[in-house]
Chain A
Amino acid sequence: MERLKTELCGIPLDNPVIPASGTFGFGREFAELYDINVLGTFSFKGTTRESRFGNPTPRIAECTAGMLNAVGLQNPGVEAVIAEELPRMKQFFSKPVMANVSGFSVQEYVETTALLDREEQVGWLEVNVSCPNVHGGGMSFGTDPEAASTVTRAVKAVTKKPVIVKLSPNVTDIVAIAKACEDAGADGISLINTLLGMRIDLKTGRPVLANRTGGFSGPAVFPVALRMVYQVACAVGIPVVGMGGVSSAEDVIEMMMAGAVAVEVGAANLVDPFACKRIIETLPEVMDRYGIRTLREIIGTAARSDA
């Protein structure tokens, strides 16, 4: 449908809805339920150079209007992703996919990116400098403008594909980090990753999560995410992908009005495996209700009204 179309770093999307990394695996579980080609694209499970088991369990804790996770980047490693997951994915997903890359050193980000760069199915590289659940990597690259800039420059040097840097909200100045990534050559910014959080079991007095802390996501974080998307979209000239607590067509529209050209949906997929399909199907009627002809025309309306 023409009115839902958008574009991300020069690649057209049939609609702005993108399941977020870590909530959609490599697509297989969802492809058994519906034709996932209805999606704009999806961002696959955060991939590292080597295979990782991740953190001990419990890895999940419930919160009011959301959840904590401390999975810790469990993934089979980039070589297995290329050898096994991508060929399998080709049978049920025919669009360019977003490859989510994580690492523990600049070198690791570079090697993983270089390997994925050769894969025809990969449309974009989403470079995750914001995982709160791993130690000595992940988020530590995304909380310092200098480090974020170094990673961005390094991965840009080894790929021709658009590089979207995924930012952490656990910073004092999100705009400074976003600008540092833009200056270092990022083609886009996606945000927000999860907010660092914690729950304690009242019966034991100990943290619910084995990792003690975890990333908070779900509808509760939506206003925080929206504010950050708005601030970053106002400050940078590259496309912004909005995410954080998005669960409805209304949320997608609000994110786009804040300045997002596309919108990722995360935790909602875990609660309702059909969430993204439902959002896409509902978008036209919600657009009608607000007199929106095309999604392209609403991108950044909130910022324009400041002028």
Chain B
Amino acid sequence: MKRSDFTVIQNEALTATVFRMTLRGDTAAITAPGQFVNIALDGCYLRRPISVCDLEDDRLTIIYKTVGRGSARMSRLSPGEKLDLLTGLGNGYDLSKSGERPLLLGGGVGVPPLYLLAKRLIQQGKRVAAVLGFNTKDEVFGEEAFLKLGADVTVTTADGSYGRKGFVTDALPAEYSYFYTCGPEPMLKAVYRATETDGQFSFEERMGCGFGACMGCSCKTVTGYKRICRDGPVLEKGEILWND
């Protein structure tokens, strides 16, 4: 983990509620796709944890949805503004288990962390299939970006207004070696049930510190208590205990 100042380079809307921000700063502490940064914002007491979507030298891209006061404030930041970030938080995805044909399953703002993962897997010569799920056409983003990387992309919408109608679990390819997923909890549960291989899940939880000090985001797993922020956010399929 590292604390450093970043400068906003670009901050633009992808949909009515989803924004993409590119920042410049010291990204050295970020070691794996699926890690997150924790952003201090004026007027908000706690930092805002956001997953890393892309990384290129000293440039960091995040994609976030405006859901409350903090994210609304983020959406109003202009290029040139400075932000205080904690970087390199969380374990991130373990690429070594992917096999040759990894499947990436993302839902809504669970899609962004899978982008850097897809990029890294493709750099390693893997054949990546990505299924990106959204509620409706107006909320779709990211398809182009994944296609440009060379991934085999399927988009699903719950109402059928774009791509294939249904959930990501309705569009699983016939063959895949392993899977990685990120999205809302109901989707993660559906993925857990529908998949036949091992895989990794990225979880979301309200956090206090984001670096393992406060025990605010603990969960029970097969291998003991884990802090989503520090021992996660990525858990392996075999260690997950669902809350209900």
A residues engaging B (CB < 8 A)?
22-25, 29-30, 32-33, 45, 53-54, 56-67, 69, 71, 74, 208, 218-219, 267, 269-274
The answer to whether residues A69 and B220 also contact, given A64-B45, A270-B209 and a CB cut-off of 8 A, is no
Residues from chain A with a CB closer than 8 A to the CB of B215 are 22, 25, 45, 54, 59, 71, 74
The answer to whether residues A62 and B214 also contact, given A33-B1, A271-B40 and a CB cut-off of 8 A, is no
The answer to whether residues A67 and B45 also contact, given A23-B214, A74-B225 and a CB cut-off of 8 A, is yes
Nearest-Cβ distance from residue B241 to partner chain A, whole angstroms? 11
Residues from chain B with a CB closer than 8 A to the CB of A30 are 213
Nearest-Cβ distance from residue A2 to partner chain B, whole angstroms? 30
The answer to whether residues A60 and B243 also contact, given A53-B225, A269-B213, A271-B40 and a CB cut-off of 8 A, is no
Q: Which of B45, B219, B230 contacts A271 (CB 8 A)?
A: B45
Are A274 and B3 neighbours in the complex by a CB distance under 8 Å? Answer: yes
B residues engaging A (CB < 8 A)?
1, 3, 40, 44-47, 86, 205-209, 211-220, 225, 230, 243
Closest A residue by C-beta to B218: A74
Are A25 and B1 neighbours in the complex by a CB distance under 8 Å? Answer: no
Are B206 and A66 neighbours in the complex by a CB distance under 8 Å? Answer: no
Are B45 and A71 neighbours in the complex by a CB distance under 8 Å? Answer: no
Closest B residue by C-beta to A63: B45
Residues from chain A with a CB closer than 8 A to the CB of B217 are 57, 59-60
A-B contact count (CB 8 A): 90
Are B218 and A62 neighbours in the complex by a CB distance under 8 Å? Answer: no
Closest B residue by C-beta to A208: B206
Are A270 and B206 neighbours in the complex by a CB distance under 8 Å? Answer: no
Residues from chain A with a CB closer than 8 A to the CB of B208 are 59-60, 67, 69, 270
Residues from chain A with a CB closer than 8 A to the CB of B214 are 22-23, 60, 69, 71, 270
Q: How many Å lie between the Cα of A71 and that of B243 in the bound state?
A: 16
Q: How many Å lie between the Cα of A271 and that of B45 in the bound state?
A: 7
Closest A residue by C-beta to B217: A57
Residues from chain A with a CB closer than 8 A to the CB of B230 are 29
Nearest-Cβ distance from residue B75 to partner chain A, whole angstroms? 18
Nearest-Cβ distance from residue A210 to partner chain B, whole angstroms? 10
Are A53 and B218 neighbours in the complex by a CB distance under 8 Å? Answer: yes
Residues from chain B with a CB closer than 8 A to the CB of A33 are 1
- By Cβ-Cβ distance, the 4 closest A-B pairs, closest first, are A270-B209, A60-B216, A58-B206, A74-B215
Residues from chain A with a CB closer than 8 A to the CB of B218 are 53-54, 57, 59, 71, 74
Q: Which of A23, A56, A219, A274 contacts B243 (CB 8 A)?
A: A56
Among B207, B214, B219, which residue has the most Cβ atoms of chain A within 10 A? Answer: B214
Closest A residue by C-beta to B43: A64
Q: Which of B45, B206, B213 contacts A65 (CB 8 A)?
A: B45
Q: How many Å lie between the Cα of A63 and that of B68 in the bound state?
A: 13
Are B45 and A69 neighbours in the complex by a CB distance under 8 Å? Answer: no
Residues from chain B with a CB closer than 8 A to the CB of A23 are 209, 213-214
Q: How many Å lie between the Cα of A66 and that of B243 in the bound state?
A: 28
Are A24 and B45 neighbours in the complex by a CB distance under 8 Å? Answer: no
Are B3 and A61 neighbours in the complex by a CB distance under 8 Å? Answer: no
Q: How many Å lie between the Cα of A272 and that of B215 in the bound state?
A: 16
Closest A residue by C-beta to B70: A62
Residues from chain B with a CB closer than 8 A to the CB of A272 are 3, 40
Are B213 and A24 neighbours in the complex by a CB distance under 8 Å? Answer: yes
Q: Which of B3, B206, B207 contacts A273 (CB 8 A)?
A: B3
Residues from chain A with a CB closer than 8 A to the CB of B213 are 23-25, 29-30, 269-270, 273
Are B44 and A62 neighbours in the complex by a CB distance under 8 Å? Answer: yes
Closest B residue by C-beta to A274: B3
